[in-house]
Structure 1
């Protein structure tokens, strides 16, 4: 896959190569154009307005596990938000969706719960920035899940520090792995070295 190869070539040049930064921006915007009526508009409260033909197939399914409300929200968030404000926006959105969020006392992660799989998160949960979205309160989470998701927060941080464009990790997670999910995805393999959630 050509895009996968180009992203791989750019991996170590994101902080300095303008063409690589443009590639990441264009990749994110191509997802937004496929599903948003007005892809250039920013709607941090409600997310983008979906096109009539929007559906979660291909790359969106790979990234979000068919969580259309989550993608709709993220597609409307300014990609230039810093990490702190991104997490604030995600947590405000969770509250609007009827969920709750609690910051972990000992680890740099916030767990949001009371959400619906397939609407607000994919598979066993979805991490955006340092915010983990799922349906289980923090006190009921298995430690393997928390350790696994902590690695995803570090992956987000790594790519954000390379290039101050928060969707960068989502682009690499989706396109940089050939649309692979679960143990076939290198980022899940990396997270599983710590959480052993998938037992890759």
Structure 2
């Protein structure tokens, strides 16, 4: 009978996954993780047949271990038996945070299969803490990456509107940044005004409905 633990690397399935990854050259491990996470996301119906929740949680934890806030996961990897240093990734993989977060949410979101089968309240709580910690690390990098893409997209839009080639001189770069900052501020103010106006609109609607009666 297999061993199951509430930590990301505490089950037989997770250890088997780490062993398989350790057999690959270090420069191929990130790509193997990318393929595995993409496979999970694209083939959700194959859960329990082609892959299991503990392997997905271990994969997400390996990604999180390379990111800010994941230092304790690196320490946990040193406690894995049989040459734990062979399991680590050679460099951070922030580009995998989004797919790791999506796969993790699939197997360990509210009511997900990761949360089924724990026999004590203590195990349930510890299993939830494992997922909460991984989610926080991956979400932070995912949000930062999303904001970076938004700034890049706005910068390209600014360059196009201003008729400038992107960042080919300090003056061009300064103009793009200034236009992008103005656009971001305008969008933020517009959203704020919209939110403030909603209660008044709803109140007016309620008055109209009362009058119609």
Fold shared by both chains (TM-score > 0.5): no
Structure with more contact order per residue of length (Cα contacts < 8 Å, sep ≥ 6): 1
Provide TM-score, normalisation by structure 2.
0.25
Identify the structure with the greater strand proportion.
1
Instruction: Choose 1 or 2 for highest CA Rg.
Output: 2
